[in-house]
Amino acid sequence: MTAKKTILCVDNEQNLSIQKLTLETRGYRVVPCHTALEAMRAFSDETIDLILSNVDLPDASAAELVERIKMISPLIPIILLSGTKRAYHTDAPVNLLLRKGSYAPAELLESIRLLLVKRRGPHRSGPSSIASRATAC
């Protein structure tokens, strides 16, 4: 059985409960946090596969959180959600910026799925299948 992918969600209470429910019904494990400090602690303590964070955090900017996380794990996918910003720039890149209210939950779930597949990389054939293709030619 495949291990559940873990998503670190950083947002306010109302949005966290919606995200948690949406993600858990799709088989993801969710680590909820309300602040950048909580998120960094959770990131240090847990194996995280993807980060979903609000741009507006009460104790730090999303840019600071992204930069700290990318120093530790440069390849981790990060999706930022914003109710106000249409563009986002930091030296530590994010994979996606979505405006709250401008996407359907299915779009967010598909974006998460694609980023996790991309991080895992393409399916690789085992040595036996390579050998069988070589002998078939």
> Domains in the chain, start-ordered, CATH in brackets?
6-136 (3.40.50.2300)
Contact 42, 8 (CB under 8 A): yes
| pTM check: above 0.75 | yes
d(CA 131, CA 100): 50
pLDDT band at 132 (very low <50, low <70, confident <90, very high): very low
Interior angle at CA 68, CA 80 and CA 26, nearest 5: 40
Residue with tokens 């299948």: 129
Reported confidence tier of residue 136, pLDDT bands at 50, 70, 90: very low
Q: For position 91, what pLDDT does the model report?
A: 60
Phi, psi of 121 (to 5 degrees): 90, 175
Tokens of 45: 């303590």
Using only the alpha carbons of the chain, give its radius of gyration: 17
Query: CA-CA distance, 30 to 21, in Å (whole number)?
Result: 9
pLDDT digits (tens, 9 = 90+) for 67-85: 999 999 999 999 999 877 6
pLDDT bin (cut points 50, 70, 90) of residue 1 is low
pLDDT tens per residue across span 29-62: 999 999 999 999 999 999 999 999 999 899 998 8
Three-state secondary-structure class, residue 32 = strand
pLDDT in tens, 2-28: 678 999 999 987 788 889 999 999 999
CB 104 within 8 A of CB 82: no
